[in-house]
Chains A and B, each alone.
Chain A
Amino acid sequence: METVTTQGNDLRLVDLEKEFQSPDGGMVTAVNKISLDVAPGEFVSLLGPSGCGKTTILRMVAGLEQPTRGEILIGEERVNELPPYKRNIGLVFQSYALFPHKTVFENVAYSQTLRRRPKAEIKSSVDEMLALVGLGHLADRSPTQLSGGQQQRVALARALVSDPRVLLFDEPLSNLDARLRVQVRAEIRRVHQRLRPTVIYVTHDQSEAMSLSDRIAVMSSGQVMQIGTPQDIYQRPDNRFVADFVGSANFFPARVLERKSKELVVEFSGGTFKIGSWAPGSEQSDDVLLVIRQEHLEIVPESESSVHGIIRGSEFLGTHTECLIEVGGQTALATLDSSGGIELPTEGSTVGIRFQESRAHVIPNTPE
């Protein structure tokens, strides 16, 4: 099947700011000086907890909110002053937002009908889009008769049919149950790989962001905490917030003993480690945080490690068992593989802690 390939435009946000009037009369900064360049065809996720400003950014790009300061440029054109209907963007909503009084076909055809394109052209482009999301056979149904996953695919087709300059997703999978979520996620990835639109994808779910994105911007309180590829974000977080929000990480205060060009030598709980990966800013102070992912922390017999901890509790979770360990006054989580038939350590017993140096990472120990 021959499809029109969407050639997305680049999107640039320059010092974008948004202040809201709070109910008590003061101003709340929802988005604080955000700058972001999205390349044509790139898939960028805004990832963060609710209230971090990610949806506000999306709505400003769509034209549904006015920025307080800063610029939004789509393909070098400043769009701040344009109403939403003149921006030619596609927006996929959490609540699908299909028009309940129109059929699936009419929903997808809506933007084309508004542009008064010839009927035959509309039909062929709508059919093509519906086929792309695998719903060609449901064109005459009412959206209310479709499942949530199907509705969201219709919404996707509707957003794509006008060949938008930027495609925006606002937590599109949040209303779906776990299984459908994975399906629709795969659908979104497939469609993106096929048409290569420029995408901004807002989510609070790290696995969505990881699996779909070229780059992820992790946000907190209106600011970007880190932007990078999923691997960067996960393996080399810049700060405690990112490490904590993405995945499950243990943080151990450590002291830098020596700085080499390719590694830091740190000391923590009586052990000395050579760590090859550290975040910018870690050179500033001798007090740093050692970041070790939960799944990389091993529990071994007391004699096999110089670092010790006391078991404070454990939870059997099927595929694995999570252990809560007290290490030098800190609590840490470690994963025990359940399949090996390893005996669970009893509560209160002392165990050894081990990890591979190559899997550890160092970040600055800045107070939050």
Chain B
Amino acid sequence: MIKRKQKQGGTREESSTYAVFGLAWVWLLVLIAYPLVQILVAAFFVSGNFTLSEFYSLFETAYYRRVIVNSFRLAAIVATFGTIIALIFALAVTKVDMPGRKLFHIVALVPTISPPFAFGLAVIMLFGRQGLVTYEILGLETSAIYGLNGMAVAQIFGFFPFAYLLLRGILLGLNPSLEEAASTLGANRFKTLFTVTLPLMVTGIASAFLLLFIYSMADLGNALLIGGNYTVVSSQIYLAIVGQFDFARGAALSVTILFPAVLLFIWQKKLEQRTTYAMVSGRPSGSSTSIRERGIVWSAWGFCVLITLIIGAVYLTILAGASTRLWGVNYTPTLDHFRAVFGAGNLGVRALQDTFFLASIAAVFGGVLSLVIGYMVQRVPVRGRGMVDFLSMIPMAVPGVVIGIAFAIAFNKPPLIISGTALIIILLFIVRTMPFGLRMSVAAIGQIDVAIDEASLTLGANRFQTFTRITLPLIRTSFVASIIYMFTRNITSLSAVIFVVSANWTLVTAAMLSEIETGRISVASAFAVVLVVIVVAINIILFRFIERQKTS
């Protein structure tokens, strides 16, 4: 009796199963492998001949060398500070017995589902040339915030919640008896933290760092908004394609961040796996070792309140910007900007409609696809399923701008011309969000005892019947959750889809960007408010739904 793995062993499968598996392969090859190969071709081949000339010219130009260094420097800063904040926040929320833990957690979730330039917008409105703090209050006329500082601040607070979620999961998974053992052996809180808790989390912390590094490198919204003269690769790619239609340059620039990003991603995944080995008990508990010392409680509480206020200030600023006449000049309340969004004949309504339409279709198809592939990967013993899993995960590693260009290049020429259509946006949405959906469905299916599937099979149900009658009903809550999550990511995404929107089909985030580019910050804020309200509302409904499912 070999120790049973969660993945199922070796049943005979019928040809229909292989057919579904084959379709998954077609999907992955056409929509992930083909575009990425096309971007490599665009970067390395000039009129059919292999050449490194594009890269020579990149690295010979001092300007581009600086751009590349800039990207990495920014990423390092954001990852360092973001990880520190996330770690303290996670420790405080999971380990310290203080009021408002749940609120802190919920507030920290908001940036993970909000549109990409919310933080950049707020930073400009508060500290920009005509910022509320810098200009109105301090009377300064400074553009110091444009550049490294502003970008770093916007990214640190915009992205640290992702690291927080990761670290929180690890902290909750740690076996509390380890810390209890340390304290019964005479270690105080700090000794315990530094000798037991943190060493156990080392790989997790490193993994959070890499995650933020990747996010920072891939970020486009903030770079365009407050990058100023501090140009980074992602914004350069955008300018090369959208400004100069120089696809070769855009592709070459993409390659300079594509490979580091993919390597970092693989490294991060390795670390994440090792972290889970360190977690002795998988059962989330954590609350048993609540810290009650007054000094610690107060400083932790103070820290969390500060962070919560900063996040809150960001959204309040955007709300204020959206509902005052002209930020920095005239602070009279008005609803004009919302009218500009919703007004008849305006681009806003159409962008909203398009966004909802495309994002919903993509979320539903993406959800179903994730579920089917997740089931195959988890339960169906077909050769190559590990490869399918890996390929589907790649878009998580590839920066949004890169996959965006890859789509723009690959599907603008035979044999597959779909640029300018709704289809290309939908497909890009699905490709970008499927890794998340896939993780969710793999996790949900992994929760079900393999024996339940096997029972169904031995009782005479084939794969399809087992999937529809047993698996699907058991994971329906998580299935709905993954669709909502994908929908949320779709409507707030920018960096990839910006390259495939067209006159026929446009998106809210793209509309926001063009409002910002034409200096209409208030209208952009109004868009942001609308998006945040919608996203938060959807997620609250979802949360309620999940709670109800749990109790019934």
Chain A positions near chain B (C-beta within 8 angstroms)? 20, 28, 30, 50-56, 59, 62-66, 81-91, 93-101, 110-111, 114-115, 155, 158-159, 162
Contact = CB atoms under 8 A, between A and B. Distances in A.
B459 interface: yes
B11 A83 contact: yes
A90 to B, nearest CB: 7
Interface centre among A28, A83, A85 (most CB of B within 10 A): A85
Contact of A110 (B2, B12, B449, B459): B459
Q: Which 10 A/B pairs are nearest by Cβ-Cβ distance?
A: A97-B451, A55-B1, A97-B455, A111-B459, A66-B10, A84-B457, A83-B12, A91-B458, A93-B451, A65-B9
B474 A85 contact: no
A91 B1 contact: no
Contacts of B11: 63-66, 83-84
A31 to B, nearest CB: 9
A54 B1 contact: yes
B2 A83 contact: no
A100 B458 contact: no
Contacts of B451: 93-97
Contacts of A101: 473-474
B256 interface: no
A224 to B, nearest CB: 14
Nearest to A50: B1
Given A56-B1, A64-B11, A85 B460 contact: yes
Interface of B: 1-2, 8-14, 449, 451-452, 454-462, 465, 469-470, 473-474
Given A83-B14, A114-B465, 19 more contacts: A30-B2, A62-B458, A63-B458, A64-B11, A64-B457, A65-B9, A66-B11, A83-B11, A83-B12, A83-B462, A84-B458, A85-B458, A86-B460, A90-B458, A97-B452, A98-B452, A98-B455, A99-B456, A159-B458
Contacts of A86: 460
A86 B11 CA distance: 11
B454 A91 contact: yes
Contacts of A88: 460
Nearest to A91: B458
Nearest to A83: B12
Contact of B1 (A30, A100, A155): A30
B424 to A, nearest CB: 39
Contacts of B1: 30, 50-56
A258 to B, nearest CB: 44
Nearest to A48: B1
Nearest to B470: A99
A59 B462 CA distance: 17
Given A56-B2, A59-B9, A83-B13, A93 B454 contact: yes
A130 to B, nearest CB: 16
Interface centre among B454, B455, B465 (most CB of A within 10 A): B455
Contacts of A115: 460
Contacts of A114: 459-461, 465
Contacts of A65: 9-11
Nearest to A79: B12
30 contacts: A50-B1, A51-B1, A52-B1, A53-B1, A56-B1, A56-B2, A62-B454, A62-B458, A63-B457, A64-B454, A64-B458, A65-B10, A66-B9, A66-B10, A82-B12, A84-B457, A84-B458, A85-B457, A85-B460, A88-B460, A90-B459, A97-B454, A99-B455, A99-B456, A99-B470, A110-B456, A114-B460, A114-B465, A155-B455, A159-B458
Contact of B10 (A53, A64, A110, A159): A64
A94 B4 CA distance: 13
A85 B465 CA distance: 10
Nearest to B8: A64
Nearest to A80: B12
